[in-house]
A and B are shown apart, each in its own frame.
Chain A
């Protein structure tokens, strides 16, 4: 589904991704781990099309298409969903309106008819109760005044509504208490499907107890330095990131 080859990217003059190679097939759940500043979020945002991250080399093929040629909105319409590490507050735009606009945009892109308002609302309410979310959030401005947990749940809620082919979760676990973490993980697990791929970006092994990955990759200083099965996450938890860094022969301090 997704094939990343030698991907390089920078912000301003600073090179962050220094040659990423990663292949994700439909049905798989991959975890991308690494210390702060290793480039995890950069990779997640670059895949979603963030303009500030300039791709300077390499290729990304998604479903046979050159992903890097697509505008962010077209990537989303093609089925890529990024759950933001820091969901943005949008005063004056209700969550309901925001979701409708997104779903309408996607329907338009695929030439499908607009969704029925009643069906939409019923679906939204169902997905919200799955995530133990207060339905009044639908009528509040997107993420405005939401608690940290509500913001993260709102990302998973949007993901459930938009039904992506490739979901990228950017540190969705950070800042969540254990109850919220379980609810979020359950939400993600419900989406596990042979036709869907999920990339979980995280700093902590904790989330991976609930969302058990097929593959684990360790990113350090802009490169994937180690890949393995789910047991790699446990080993990292035990031995720390310095262990992989040493193995990779990298002694430079992590960029922030």
Chain B
């Protein structure tokens, strides 16, 4: 019998413990929000499949598990090497957070004046005037238990503030590493990115973990894009296949701003990504793209929501999934066009490639349209590799595994090609080849 809610008193208990353990760090001004968030979490708990939005994704393991808040669980000695996940000189600033704690911030000597790129822990006490108006203003703490939980515990993450008309040429990167050893831990990464009018920036967000470790990452990002600001955001999720990744993004876009947010999701036992965009101004352009790769028992769930509040905005959404083994995919794409949002132009597609008889996908477009002069299209496809195409490749001397890889890679290529930051694009290509049966040959020929 599925429960109406999964309360997790041990997580609430950890909050009390953690509160006592924390030394005064100068960010006490946020404590009242933490207290109300943890109370709310105590009331509503972890979502269950009884709720429509979690129908296919049972998060009961999070409630039952003995996940320890990482600051309480202490440090681990077998450290995962961050180097394979870093981009070094190609970035303006690169921050590494390990097991919820700040590990390093790369030199940021050449940032334009007024730009703030710091760990959230630092922003909480040094940049209160920039943080306070926005932090926890967009995440639905009242209705989403895990957003409330993240807010109660939030401490480390990436804070970015780009002033008016400032353009950053090189991207900013935050890497979250988890290597808790034998312990089952939970961490609460939190990001806040504020781009003022006309600001322009690329942000990379990576998650990786010890492949033998069972842990839970509960992450939340809030984004504010001022008028005519532009943000390209690439999230690369490569958690351990034993891990649970709950990710949530809320972006508030003002007039004529442009946001592209990409979710590349290859890791985790269960990955749940919620992407929520609020288009509150005319002439906004939003892109939400994603590529998910599932194998074995993985479950990868994307829930997206575009809220067209104002007229003359465009949203483009393209998610592609490749599922093998007994993996499951879930895609739910909601588009809401409010009464005033005339001339909305929204396109949503979700295409899936099922590579085994046991892989499944549940895909659902959800359109709610209250304006009468709009253009909204959506489409979902589910298919297997085309036998004609396979034979065609084989008839040119290419063995079956390589032929399959070429076709899978071509399917994924539509999304991969759009990753404008080349070092990440080739990393994603390479990771993709590693996961394909004949991928090594493709790698050689690249």
Contact = CB atoms under 8 A, between A and B. Distances in A.
Interface of A: 48-52, 71-73, 75-77, 81-82, 84, 87-88, 90-93, 97-98, 100-106, 109, 141, 158, 162
Nearest to A103: B397
A88 B394 contact: no
B20 interface: no
A244 B398 CA distance: 40
Residue picked from B395, B409, B442, most chain A C-beta under 10 Å: B395
A105 B407 contact: no
Contact of A93 (B391, B400, B406): B406
Given A51-B391, A88-B388, A91-B410, A100 B445 contact: yes
A158 B392 contact: no
A105 B400 contact: no
A72 B411 contact: no
Contacts of B406: 93, 98, 101
A50 B444 CA distance: 28
Given A90-B410, A93-B410, A105-B402, A49 B396 contact: no
B103 interface: no
Contacts of B171: none
A157 to B, nearest CB: 12
A72 B396 CA distance: 8
A98 B445 CA distance: 11
Contacts of A101: 393, 396, 398, 402, 406, 442, 445
Contact of B397 (A50, A88, A102, A141): A102
B413 interface: yes
Interface of B: 386-389, 391-400, 402-403, 406-407, 409-411, 413-414, 441-442, 444-445
B113 to A, nearest CB: 43
A76 B392 contact: no
Instruction: Please give me the 7 A-B residue pairs with the lowest Cβ-Cβ distance, nearest first.
Output: A92-B410, A76-B397, A102-B396, A72-B394, A88-B392, A105-B397, A73-B394
Given A75-B395, A82-B395, 18 more contacts: A49-B395, A71-B394, A71-B399, A72-B394, A73-B395, A76-B396, A87-B392, A88-B386, A88-B389, A92-B409, A92-B414, A93-B406, A98-B406, A101-B442, A102-B396, A106-B397, A162-B396, A162-B397
B394 A49 contact: yes
Contact of B392 (A81, A90, A105, A141): A90
- Describe A's contact surface by its main secondary structure: helix
Contacts of A97: 445
A84 B397 CA distance: 14
5 contacts: A76-B395, A88-B389, A91-B410, A101-B393, A106-B397
A52 B411 CA distance: 24
Contacts, number: 81
Contact of A50 (B391, B399, B409, B442): B391
Contacts of B411: 92
A33 to B, nearest CB: 23
A241 to B, nearest CB: 28
A88 B393 CA distance: 9
Contacts of B398: 73, 101-102, 105
A234 B392 CA distance: 33
Contacts of A90: 389, 392-393, 407, 410
A193 B392 CA distance: 25
A107 to B, nearest CB: 9
A206 B389 CA distance: 30
B261 to A, nearest CB: 23
Given A90-B407, A100-B445, A109 B394 contact: no
A138 to B, nearest CB: 15
B389 to A, nearest CB: 5
A183 B316 CA distance: 44
Contacts of B444: 104
Nearest to A161: B396
A187 B403 CA distance: 27
Nearest to A94: B410
Nearest to A92: B410
Given A87-B392, A101-B406, A104-B445, A71 B397 contact: no
A109 B398 CA distance: 10
Contacts of B402: 101, 105
Contacts of A106: 397
Contacts of A92: 409-411, 413-414
A118 to B, nearest CB: 16
A179 B388 CA distance: 29
A77 B409 CA distance: 23
Contacts of B441: 104-105
Contacts of B391: 50-51, 72, 88
A243 B442 CA distance: 53
Contacts of B410: 90-93, 141
A98 B396 contact: yes
Contacts of B397: 73, 76-77, 102-103, 105-106, 109, 162
A81 B389 CA distance: 16
A172 to B, nearest CB: 14
B312 to A, nearest CB: 32
Contacts of B414: 92
Nearest to A45: B391
A51 B387 CA distance: 10
Contacts of A109: 397
Contacts of A71: 394, 399-400
Contacts of A88: 386, 388-389, 391-392
A101 B446 CA distance: 10
Nearest to A142: B392
Contacts of A162: 396-397
A162 to B, nearest CB: 7
A27 to B, nearest CB: 23
